[in-house]
Structure 1
Amino acid sequence: MQGALARALQLKRWTEVERLVMADSESEPSERMRLLAVARLNLGRPEEAYAAIQAATEFAPQSAPIWTNRGSILRTLGRLHEAADAFERAAALDPTLAAPCFNLGKLLSSDARLRAAREPLLEATRRDPKHVEAWCALGRVEVGLGNVTAAIATFRRALALRPTTGAAWWGLANLKTVAFDRADQAQLDALWVQPNIGADDRTLIGFARAHAHLANGEDATGWRALLDANALKRSHLQWDLQRHRNWVDDVIRLWQQPRQPAGDPARGSNVIFILGLPRSGSTLLEQVLAAHSLVSAASELPDLQQVLRSHSPKLDARELAACSTEDFAALGTQYLQRTERWRAERPWMVDKMPANFLHIGAIRLMLPGAHIIDMRRDLRDCAYSCFLQHFAHTAPWSNDLAELKAWCADYERLMQHWLAFDGDAVIRVHYEALVASPEHVTTSLLEAIGLPWEPGCCQPHEVNREVRTASAAQVREPMDQRGRGRWRRFESVFSDWPS
């Protein structure tokens, strides 16, 4: 029994693990219930997993592994504060165990608490200096905090431990302000063809490899490497372009006339949404606004979509359009409650989730006083930058040029619809104008959203804040125009794309 269970655990055959644990009457009850909880969590049944881990905790309340697993289950259930408490308790129960510190750091990082995440991740590396994943997670936190030199050293430490660590290679590439040297490029080329590397690591290595060749001026090789990396990524994704296009069609058909919002027409007047395509300059614009003494930058928040999913789990266009104005008012209140911490120190906040452009009609009814900024950039530059970028899960359309072009076209036609639907509610800011005339554009923008002028907004690189997007290192450099016209490097690919 024990040998079979050990093999099933090693191979992550969770159905078999569950069956074997249920048939086991000899092991310690606490360990049986712990393994049952782990199996059920991995089988996508977190409520049942919690019941099992609760029983395990009652059998062995001083077990650090049980409290660690309890934290993971609570995190899956969305009970983040309880999850953090469980990880902290596990770390205190066993000062040699790295896992609870690592999990606590990941939880805090994903909850946009980078400064709080740094110490538990450091502690994880102290407890287990060979914990590669902890070094990578710490590197990402250092990037977000602006500690670029520390981030480079941290990613390099992970690579010294395990050269096939794709997350570390991509962490270095994603800085975008540090170039790979020829030795890095040669190593990435060798890794790309090395057998027995997992798909996730190979994909990240592929993107880093493309960046290395492009940084060294090898356009043909770099483009081929980029095509290969994107093709590998796309082969592991499930995304239906036609389904998305049908959804956009439904939105345009169903949202034809503006509706009068219920309740306070100023609701959400201290919320600024920056939306549009990824890599459009939205992080730069957020940094500009974050330089204002009244504005807090929350980065890319999932809250709007999560609130909408509470009403329509699949974000069905018909279900959302059928909401009453009172329903939308309640959803708006829910959004404000969920994001309250971002307005605790400064009264205004920025939510810059790009894909929120899909839900402008809902935003207008949920938060009629909110300010909506459509961040625009030459579509060709935007598309090239998206194709260069490895997005974890948020942009499955970006790994195939035809699908990328279609997504950009749908963005254009949906924004044209929203502008016709309620044009006065959308402020357009052009990236090219912002970097060319930052003071003029910033002055006009602040006036449009009702904020007083502050000269610091023209020095956004001096803002000391957490940045959790792909532009984290770039926005800490003075504003310039290097991002304009980058698509011309591959003009034959993008020449027929709209601008």
Structure 2
Amino acid sequence: MASAKKRAKSRQAALEPATLAKFLEQATQLHGEGRFDEAARLYLHVEKCNPEALAASYFLALIDIETGWLDRALERLRLVTRQDPSSFDAVFALGHTFGELGQWPQAVNAYQRARTIKPQSTTARFALARALEVVGQLDDAIALFRDLANFAPVRLNALMSAAQLKPSEITSAESEEMAAVARDTSTPVAGRIGLLFALAGVLETSSRYEGAFATYLEANRLRRERLIEDAGHPPELVIASPGSRPKFNTPQQAAAQHAQMIARAKQIFTPDLIARYSGKGHDSPAPIFILGMPRSGSTLLEQILSSHGKVEGLGEGVALWRTISGRFPLVAEAGAEDDPEFFRKLAEDYLARQRAFGWRKAPFVVDKMLGNYMSIGMIHLMFPKATILHSVRDPVDTCLACFRQLFRTGNETTYDLSDIGEHYVRYREMMAHWETVLPGRFVNVVHEQLITDPDSKIRWLVEDACKLKWDENCIRFHQTKRAVRTASIAQVRQPIFNTSLQRWRKYASHLGPLMEALGPYAPR
């Protein structure tokens, strides 16, 4: 009798079809406007009243993804895909979530399922190829790009993707085809930009440096003039509301904000503030922060350290930013100034976020968000025992490598040689401040030394810089099976090579604006 009453109550609580449809329509509208909290309340009501309405759980999972609650998103998507295994969108989102959590083998499996559900979907094939890249199955990824190149609507995207992964894969005929489309002004600008960057890499690989630089110059000019979020990248399923996706600033706005942030950090993190709050953080030595400029050799550092049995690399995550954004001393916060546990609790929040982002069993975790160089003061106060590695490379090679790279988002100052040089000088200003107020707190790891003397420098990195016991796997880092998502995705699968050292000299006659902007950091 009690069970019957419970079932009756459940039926009474269920929303009628018309009401259900109205709730979902209103929630979807709020979701699309980026009003996640309001949308989530409606979705949760539907999920409770009508658990069979899987759309609510699916869209709640998307909100969880967007707001960083990946474990929760994963749980919901597993539920949805168990009940509706033929849902392409849910299975695809499951693959995306696995990837964001660093569980790339599972992501590969999910994308393979999505391709099975919708064999004609080029979106699923591109996603699968990207996941295969990340797990190191580069030949399989290229084979998929080759297969995609047989479909006229995505042929150029596929060739471009193959070229970015392995420039030598592109034939002369394909290179000419890419060049013709890239230089046709009727081609959409986004497509031209991506093709020009890929083509420049092909020309460089064949030692045609003059043509390569001219192509890089044109690619960067177009990118800088018209910053487009998806320029030169294959189509992807929209996982989150477009209104919530990161937007580009103009290069001028980005440079001004960068300068303001540095000035603000220098104003806040004085010797007095650091002395006042030092020793009140978390005593965990678990985090290993790798920070510095893009294209400075940081992925190699993470790959070496992640080959250690006690270290897990999570790549470029946002855990620190989400932990400290809007918190004291970056802004005024009631009660924080006098709370002796404040920085320890911030550290606990950070560690919890890293676990949510995929940190599992290893005692140490690598955070390679390079922009964290802005936050060394916060890192020190939160984790006085954490290791902070500053990835340093020849300034001209660093800036040129940025100029040669098409970034997916942000990095607005990397598409002009003068802009890059000025950005580099500001970054070094920030690092000089940290060295003044926190002398010896971070370790400079010089890329060129690692490349020219790997045996001794890798051991130094592990034992001296990170205070870890030696692990022979670190010297065989290129054999480590782990996910790598950065622009160095192919390079770290190979033994150390020195062909990138002093690459700038091949382009020296074109680098006047960069040398002038670098000032004291330019070679003498």
Which deviates more, 275-284 or 239-248?
Answer: 239-248
CA-to-partner distance for each residue in 1:45-80, whole Å, 9 max, x for gaps? Answer: 122222343455568643555543343233234433
Quickly say closer, same or farther: Cα 1:266–1:81, change in 2 above 3 A: closer
Indicate the residue corresponding to 1:355 in structure 2. Answer: 371
TM-superposed CA distance for 1:466, in Å, is: 1.6
Indicate the residue corresponding to 1:305 in structure 2. Answer: 321
Indicate the residue corresponding to 2:305 in structure 1. Answer: 289
Which of 253, 256, 259 aligns to 2:267? It is 253
1:238 aligns with 2:225: no
| Secondary structure at the counterpart of residue 429 of structure 1 | strand
- Are the counterparts in 1 of residues 146 and 158 from structure 2 also a CA contact under 8 Å? yes
Q: How many residues align?
A: 471
5+ unaligned residues in a row in structure 1: which ranges? 1-26
Q: Which amino acid aligns with 1:454?
A: D
Give the whole-Å Cα distance in 1 for the aligned partners of 2:455 and 2:408: 34
| Secondary structure at the counterpart of residue 44 of structure 1 | coil
- Are the counterparts in 2 of residues 30 and 57 from structure 1 also a CA contact under 8 Å? no
TM-superposed CA distance for 1:310, in Å, is: 5.0
**Within 5 A, what are the aligned runs for 1:14-93?**
28-54=18-44, 57=47, 61-93=51-83
Name the TM-score, length of structure 1 as normaliser: 0.85
Using CA pairs under 8 Å that are at least 6 residues apart, name the structure with larger relative contact order, 1 or 2.
2
TM-superposed CA distance for 1:421, in Å, is: 1.6
Indicate the residue corresponding to 1:463 in structure 2. Answer: 480
Give the whole-Å Cα distance in 2 for the aligned partners of 1:113 and 1:165: 29
1:328 aligns with 2:318: no
Which of 490, 496, 508 aligns to 1:491? It is 508
CA-to-partner distance for each residue in 1:301-358, whole Å, 9 max, x for gaps? Answer: 211111111527xx957889x9666432321221122224766432122211111111
| Secondary structure at the counterpart of residue 480 of structure 1 | coil
Q: Which amino acid aligns with 1:456?
A: N
Which deviates more, 141-150 or 53-62?
Answer: 53-62
Quickly say closer, same or farther: Cα 1:318–1:179, change in 2 above 3 A: farther
1:158 aligns with 2:148: yes
Indicate the residue corresponding to 1:472 in structure 2. Answer: 489
- Are the counterparts in 2 of residues 343 and 349 from structure 1 also a CA contact under 8 Å? yes
5+ unaligned residues in a row in structure 2: which ranges? 1-16, 228-247
Give the whole-Å Cα distance in 2 for the aligned partners of 1:401 and 1:317: 34
CA-to-partner distance for each residue in 1:211-231, whole Å, 9 max, x for gaps? Answer: 233333333333233233223
Which of 326, 331, 354 aligns to 1:339? It is 354
- Are the counterparts in 2 of residues 29 and 56 from structure 1 also a CA contact under 8 Å? no
TM-superposed CA distance for 1:123, in Å, is: 0.6
Q: Which amino acid aligns with 2:392?
A: R
Which of 180, 184, 188 aligns to 2:170? It is 180
- Are the counterparts in 2 of residues 72 and 83 from structure 1 also a CA contact under 8 Å? yes
TM-superposed CA distance for 1:178, in Å, is: 4.5
Indicate the residue corresponding to 1:129 in structure 2. Answer: 119
Give the whole-Å Cα distance in 1 for the aligned partners of 2:86 and 2:177: 34
| Secondary structure at the counterpart of residue 150 of structure 2 | helix
TM-superposed CA distance for 1:481, in Å, is: 1.0
Q: Which amino acid aligns with 1:276?
A: G
- Are the counterparts in 1 of residues 163 and 201 from structure 2 also a CA contact under 8 Å? yes
TM-superposed CA distance for 1:210, in Å, is: 2.5
Q: Which amino acid aligns with 1:218?
A: R
CA-to-partner distance for each residue in 1:16-57, whole Å, 9 max, x for gaps? Answer: xxxxxxxxxxx9544444343333222111222223434555
- Are the counterparts in 2 of residues 139 and 171 from structure 1 also a CA contact under 8 Å? no
TM-superposed CA distance for 1:464, in Å, is: 1.7
CA-to-partner distance for each residue in 1:71-100, whole Å, 9 max, x for gaps? Answer: 323323443333333333443444443111
Quickly say closer, same or farther: Cα 1:326–1:233, change in 2 above 3 A: farther
Name the TM-score, length of structure 2 as normaliser: 0.81
Percent identity over paired residues: 27
